[in-house]
Amino acid sequence: MNGDFWGVPVNVWTILAAALVTYATRAGGYLVLSRFKRIPPRVDAALNAVPAAVLTTLVAPSVVSNGPAEALTLLICLLIGLRLPMMGMFAIGWVVIVALRATGI
């Protein structure tokens, strides 16, 4: 998109609007929830599941949509991650993906 609106590039307006809707999502869930005095136990349980639920959706397609090197790396990381802390798994996973890609599988 090119052109100006009120002397400011349209791209800048678009970026600012995108920033505004992003902030709205980041504050919105809290603003809705804070209208309730107490959170019912099931809703509380559902909210406790949010991190695992969302983060899983950021990983799962990477397992199946890339190649064998990527899928194998995540499988190895899964096994390592059940035993080692985060940073250890992260470092080993980095080495594994580089090594597997270097083999060209």
Partner 1 sequence: MSPTRSDFYQGLRDSLPIVAAAAPFGLLFGTLAVDNGLSVGEAVLMSATVFAGASQMVGLELFDTHVAPWIIVLSVLAVNFRHVLYSAALGRRLGGMAWWQKAIAFFLLTDPQFAASEARTDRKLPLTLPWYLGMGLPVYVLWIIEGWIGAMFGRLITDPGALGIDFLLPIYFLGLVLGFRARPGWLPVVIVSGIASVLGFYTVGSPWHVSLGALAGVIVALILPPPPAAQIEAVEVTP
Closest CB to partner 1 among residues 82, 105: 82
105 is a site residue for partner 1 (CB under 8 A)? no
8 is a site residue for partner 1 (CB under 8 A)? no
Using CB under 8 A, pick the residue from 6, 30, 68, 103 that binds partner 1. Answer: 30
53 is a site residue for partner 1 (CB under 8 A)? yes
C-alpha 47/C-alpha 53 separation (Å) is 10
The torsion angles phi and psi of 60, rounded to 5 degrees, stand at -55, -50
Q: Are 73 and 105 in contact (CB under 8 A)?
A: no
Shortest Cβ distance from residue 78 to partner 1 (Å)? 7
Q: Which of 37, 41, 105, 39 is nearest to 71 (CA)?
A: 105
49 is a site residue for partner 1 (CB under 8 A)? yes
